Amino acid sequence: MVEAAAVATSKIQLQPLPNFDFSDPYIFSSEVVASVMAFVVAFYFYRFYRVTGFIYLLGLVVGFSFITFAEVLLAVDVWLEFYPEMFNLLFWLRLLSLSYGFSFLAVSYYYKHREEDKSLMMRVAALSAIPIMIMIAVVVITPPAFDFPPYNQTDEYFRAFNLVMLGYVFKSTLGSIVEQGRKEFVYVPAAYAVLWLGQYSSLIFGLDGNVSVFIAAHVAKIIGLALFVGVMSQVIRGKRVPRTEKEA
């Protein structure tokens, strides 16, 4: 069994690298900025959770924590470009972390208006992992069996999944704002929409390799996270953290 795991890992590591110069300082800088912003967003959601006690907010903390971890992995990956084995392995870990983070956000919002209990986080964690495990299984068993496809092909699967998750989150947050009439929180679904655009741009980049699209994906990601930081900072400064309504 150990030998089989080693063979699987080696197959992950030996896949071709994406056709792009990852040594560009712009990429490392943007990933560092994205990592810091995602961490700040997770921290703000944790502050909201401490004030309100809504368990679904803790799910958002976990989701953005995984997104932060994924961005950190890509930043580290830039430094390890000349070590192909680690480079590809970290790319796979980033792929899984990012998709699990978005899945965690979607499932957390799904349970937003449902009765909360102590087991909610366990259910969210389990349900968030199911689609990821299914995708991994499809990738592994698709002929040739137990042979990972090229990274860019797998990346397309996960990007498409991320679009579905972010689309649901956007719909959920926009519906809540319309229902409650809280226009000051309109930047929350707007931020998710921009993150969706970033994932869509990454998907297009994987299909045609257009550098302009790649840059647009990174810019959209930074803008989306910046919108989160901005609206949350404003809420905290104005001491308008919702205590009785699930608005975020």
The domain segmentation of the chain, as residue ranges, is 2-237
pLDDT digit string, tens, across residues 11-22: 444 344 444 555
pLDDT, residue 192, reads: 97
Count of positions (residues) in the chain: 248
Contact 202, 217 (CB under 8 A): yes
CATH topology of domain 2-237: Rhopdopsin 7-helix transmembrane proteins (1.20.1070)
Residue range 71-78: mean pLDDT, rounded: 82
pLDDT at position 23 over 70: no
pLDDT digit string, tens, across residues 193-205: 999 999 999 889 8
pLDDT, residue 16, reads: 41
Higher confidence at residue 83 or residue 122? 122
Q: Of 102, 38, 105, which Cα lies nearest the Cα of 72?
A: 38
The CA–CA distances, whole Å, from 241 to 13, 45, 47, 93 equal: 45, 10, 9, 34
Q: Of 228, 161, 169, which Cα lies nearest the Cα of 199?
A: 161
**pLDDT, averaged across the chain:** 80
